[in-house]
Structure 1
Amino acid sequence: KISQYWDLSFPSANHEFRSSETGLAEEIRQRFQNSVERQMVSDVPLGAFLSAGLDSSSIVAMMAMAKTARAPLRTYTITFPEKYRKGENTLDDPAVAARLAAKLGCENQQIVVEPDVANLLPKLCWHMDEPTADPAIVTAFLVCQEASRDVTVLMSGVGGDELFGGYRKYAAHYWAEAYSRMPGWMRGAAECAIARAPNMRGSAMKGRLRLAKKMFRSAALAREERFIRNCTYLDDRQRGGLYSEELRGEIDTSLAVGSHKDAFDKVRDADFLNQMLYLDTKIFMTCLNLTYNDKMSMASSVEVRVPFLDRELAEFVAWNVPPGLKLKGFLSPTTKHIFRRAMADVLPDEVLRQPKAGFAAPTDYWLANDLTEMTDDLLSESRVRDRGLFRADGVQKMIRQHRAGKQDWSMQIWQMLTLELWMQSFMDGTGSRVGRHAEAAIA
């Protein structure tokens, strides 16, 4: 008999936390350092990802301070040529990472990449072995591939956002709750204004506008349903215009919703922020972030380790840190507040103040340039119609709107593109592009 022997748990919503903020910050820093040092035990060369973000910077700082540190500590920062940054506001600033590496005495390698993504993407879809609609697989593979020349083990910051509350969607949930209590006429006016707003592609407002649209469309829902809805890229109306009749008849969306609700049930008594963190830990992080990091690193013969997911550290944070010290404030909340406090004496202010960027990729640029031919080929009306999953007119409308700048459908187009590549490789076994790369990957 196979049974689960451990799971992350949280105290009830009315739990009385007794530790001071200062004491918690000191304890977390020490526990985090212990976790990093445990993960540094290795008989092969060791390095770390280093972006401009809080999580990877904290890991590198702890590695540099460790008694067992080997000099020089190798760190790897991925960046893209300036032309790739048009239309993208989520790419990290490599200069911040370079300054931190110099301060800590690290040997930092900035990996400036300009990949042949049209030929690389089918290979990565083959390595993933399952449909994965996140362009971060490209950046993860490229940095692991380059780092593999020098090291065999890389430290990653995966898990920090789920542990300490780092995603903006957590703040958006509370904004949506406040918005739902506003008078109907005010909500109607706000929704009309948001609906008419330009998509802000290429500006710093792009991500915020996307978040606001999600918030408005789900504000009237119960909080669990709101969170689940905001984890998707398409609402019911959009899916109705995109899915074929055959797909609508076959797919059971209740299965995905049900797995999320089952996770909610396991932490029903916890504060709702902790409930959201639990769901992302069990589903989003496990099914996406850990999966693609593992598969892309293995494809490069590199092992990735994740100090934030140390069991003792995770349990301590879950049971000792009040939700208000994870996400602090309302109108302009500070994410991961207690962890920023913990690292305040270790990291420079410019790192502590860095906004959330993620392991981003220039998806908009690739779709407008490198992947135009592939998109027109794999998502052509005839191919979409033959595949039978989507409505050809719905797909073409989405592509036209995106290219005309009327809507930002970059993630949705990327999802359909990678799904078709996966179908050709694993369901058809006849994809010419995929076949060549699959053979190369196996060889």
Structure 2
Amino acid sequence: MCGHISIYYKNKKADEIFIRQLTEKIIHRGPDDTGYFIKDNIAFGFNRLSIIDLECGNQPFQKDNRTIVFNGEIYNHNELRIELIRSNEFTTNSDTEVLLTSYINYGEKCLDKLRGMFAFVIYDEVKDIVFGARDHFGIKPLYYVNNDEFIAFSSEYKSLVTLIGKVNVDKYALQNYLSFQYTPNYNTIINEIKEVPNGTYFTIKNGDIEFKKYHKLKFSNKVIMAENIYDIINDSVKHHMIANVEVGTFLSGGIDSTIITALAAKINPKIKSFSIGFDVEGYNELSVAKKTAEYLGIENISINVSEQDYIKALPKVAYYMDDPLADPSCVGIYLLSEEARKHVKVVLSGEGSDELFGGYNIYKEYYSLKPFSYLPEVIKCEVNKIAKSLPDIKGKNYLLRGTTKLKDRYIGNAKIFSNEEVKNIIYNYDENNTYSNILSSLYKECDNNNYDNVTTMQYIDINTWLEGDILLKADKMSMAHSLELRVPFLDKEVLKCAEGLTLSQKVSKNNTKVLLREAFKDIVPSYMKEKKKLGFPTPIRVWLKSELGRYVREVITNADVDKLINKKYVLNLLDEHIQGKKDNSRKVWTVFMFCLWYEIYIEGKSIEELEDYNESNRSNSKCKLA
């Protein structure tokens, strides 16, 4: 796990001093070693977090006139080495050399052989090209800029912001962010910076860049047996535990992290688990996590976060996140990663299970809304009109959802503002930039494949929410503390299994992840088998009515976003929330995180300056070990 930046200059030679400055911007991703490669118009900078082959795995790595910078892990590197060693010599035990040797031997076809998480760039002097790729799921980030002067890539876009100099807010992306709570479609909220899509490779030749998709998800609805799921996920955990440093695990009160932890504990009974809770009733599952750790016979280290701890972390969270993310749980992951890094260098986590195995509670609405499927379209249209005219009473939302087509109402696991609400928040609203338009191509693919509603929601979530929210916060919040986070559910062999699940193997009227729960019923505690999903509950709803609300109001008021955001409207939402009239917590939070991001990346305020807020009241609020 590392951080890298690479620049391909179109009309001039590379500058060694400049690449060093840019590489320093992401030193937190790899504090163990820093290396550079500069030749003609190419410059690579690399910060290493040493995990595999601690002594010989430094980068940039060179072999046969090719040079690579690589962030991630290739979990099947030992198997690939055996295949390659017949006709290749190896000088290290690193997965980096295996990856580069695979490219030398197979070209872009090497991507079909890789099992892992990765974002890499290769300078191929033999072919006089630059080649790179991002993993199947988009676990590892890779941002890029393409302008008249250069094409540049980086693991975090803070380096690219420095490279560009002056950056501008992408108003198109901001409009999308307000609904999705992240920026979809591989845009960022900075106009000049984009993301390399997942499952995609690129080639630069003669100053031109070309992107090609090498992997695409496709559900098939085959019948999968529970024992198959067990064996495949168990094998994935074994591969994800390969490291030359200590590996720990995140353990929440949910079944996903429990499955990963239980399997990991079978491999290493001395594994350390890490858990987090908040000191607000109803937002703390530490007792469940500790009970599970005791059941598994492993050590559990936990933190209990106060409101003041949470407030204090916010400026750093916004900085390390790069793009604004309005998911309140990212602060918890940041603080938990900070604690875990004191003990281990790698952690396993349960991300991806919900998307692959049908874990979100909203997927169950397939059954609750099924009666509407028997109504003629004309009747549903009339019921929809009536429902819209009703006051906010119980049952209104049910009628609206049941009479509205999935593609017109479902944009993923988080829908913050409707299109009509966005019009009230931003100036220069674009009528052609609705969330329905953003997702139209994905819904078309679902229609072409005749996916049912549950599979369609999965497809939408995997191609938007998973990468835009779940994996973004997992990578950025862990790497802020030089901690490698691995996700065994997001493995291409696990995906092959999940793609074949039938509807009944995913959700029932009463529960989610039906077959997954069945497969692991013998290794997880009995109280976990039918436990409903809670997500990662964070008490901003409560805290916005106290000190956090005062901080949020100050940031929104002071941020120089008046030409973009209707502050009066947003602050009224905050007032309504504080007065208990409506739960506007997520809506206010979405605008707040953008404003905090704006102060850092556009106004240029330092983290220290932002942390000065009410510091005297937070001096004694360190996280207490639970």
Superposition TM-score, scaled by structure 1 size: 0.82
SS of match in other structure, 1:373: helix
RMSD: 2.7
The Cα shift of 1:297 comes to 0.3
Superposition map of 1:164-313 within 5 A:
164-179=357-372, 195-196=392-393, 215-228=398-411, 231-240=414-423, 242-244=424-426, 246-249=427-430, 253-254=433-434, 256-267=435-446, 268-272=448-452, 273-313=454-494
Corresponding residue to 1:418 among 593, 600, 620: 593
The Cα shift of 1:118 comes to 2.7
Q: Distance in 2 between matches of 1:154 and 1:110?
A: 14
Greater strand fraction, Structure 1 or Structure 2: 2
* 1:230–1:192 distance in 2 versus 1, CA, 3 Å: farther
Is the CA contact 2:315–2:611 (under 8 Å) kept in the aligned structure 1? no
- Structure 1 residue 407 and structure 2 residue 582: aligned? yes
Deviations 1:49-107 (A, max 9, x none): 101101000001111122xx2x41100110122xx23xxx5x35222221211111100
Which residue is 1:28 aligned to?
A: 229
- Structure 1 residue 375 and structure 2 residue 552: aligned? yes
- Structure 1 residue 336 and structure 2 residue 513: aligned? yes
SS of match in other structure, 1:110: strand
Corresponding residue to 1:74 among 272, 281, 297: 272
Identity rate of aligned residues, in percent? Answer: 28
The Cα shift of 1:375 comes to 2.2
Is the CA contact 2:273–2:299 (under 8 Å) kept in the aligned structure 1? yes
Is the CA contact 1:137–1:292 (under 8 Å) kept in the aligned structure 2? yes
Is the CA contact 1:123–1:434 (under 8 Å) kept in the aligned structure 2? no
Deviations 1:335-394 (A, max 9, x none): 0000000011111221112211112221123212232222222233xx578622232332
- Structure 1 residue 93 and structure 2 residue 93: aligned? no
Is the CA contact 2:387–2:396 (under 8 Å) kept in the aligned structure 1? no
SS of match in other structure, 1:347: coil
* 1:162–1:18 distance in 2 versus 1, CA, 3 Å: closer
Greater helix fraction, Structure 1 or Structure 2: 1
Which residue is 1:203 aligned to?
A: none
SS of match in other structure, 2:416: coil
The Cα shift of 1:432 comes to 7.2
- Structure 1 residue 429 and structure 2 residue 601: aligned? no
Q: Distance in 2 between matches of 1:157 and 1:126?
A: 25
SS of match in other structure, 1:3: strand
The Cα shift of 1:213 comes to 6.5
* 1:18–1:284 distance in 2 versus 1, CA, 3 Å: closer
Q: Which amino acid aligns with 2:252?
A: S
SS of match in other structure, 1:247: coil
SS of match in other structure, 1:225: helix
Q: Distance in 2 between matches of 1:194 and 1:106?
A: 52
Q: Distance in 2 between matches of 1:181 and 1:389?
A: 45
Equivalent residue pairs, number: 396
Q: Which amino acid aligns with 2:363?
A: Y
- Report which structure shows greater RCO (CA 8 Å, sep ≥6): 1
Which residue is 1:51 aligned to?
A: 252
The Cα shift of 1:46 comes to 0.8
Which residue is 1:119 aligned to?
A: 312
Corresponding residue to 2:504 among 311, 315, 324: 324
Deviations 1:171-194 (A, max 9, x none): 225534534756779878987888
Q: Distance in 2 between matches of 1:195 and 1:422?
A: 34
Is the CA contact 1:156–1:305 (under 8 Å) kept in the aligned structure 2? yes
Superposition TM-score, scaled by structure 2 size: 0.59
Q: Distance in 1 between matches of 2:562 and 2:384?
A: 41
Is the CA contact 1:126–1:425 (under 8 Å) kept in the aligned structure 2? yes
Which residue is 1:42 aligned to?
A: 243
Q: Distance in 1 between matches of 2:254 and 2:412?
A: 27
Q: Which amino acid aligns with 2:275?
A: T
Which residue is 1:150 aligned to?
A: 343
Q: Which runs of 5+ in 1 are unaligned?
A: 198-211, 438-443
Q: Which runs of 5+ in 2 are unaligned?
A: 1-202, 204-210, 613-626
Q: Which amino acid aligns with 2:507?
A: L
Q: Which amino acid aligns with 1:390?
A: I
SS of match in other structure, 1:75: strand
Which residue is 1:441 aligned to?
A: none
* 1:252–1:385 distance in 2 versus 1, CA, 3 Å: farther
Q: Distance in 2 between matches of 1:78 and 1:213?
A: 36
Is the CA contact 1:141–1:299 (under 8 Å) kept in the aligned structure 2? yes
* 1:213–1:413 distance in 2 versus 1, CA, 3 Å: farther
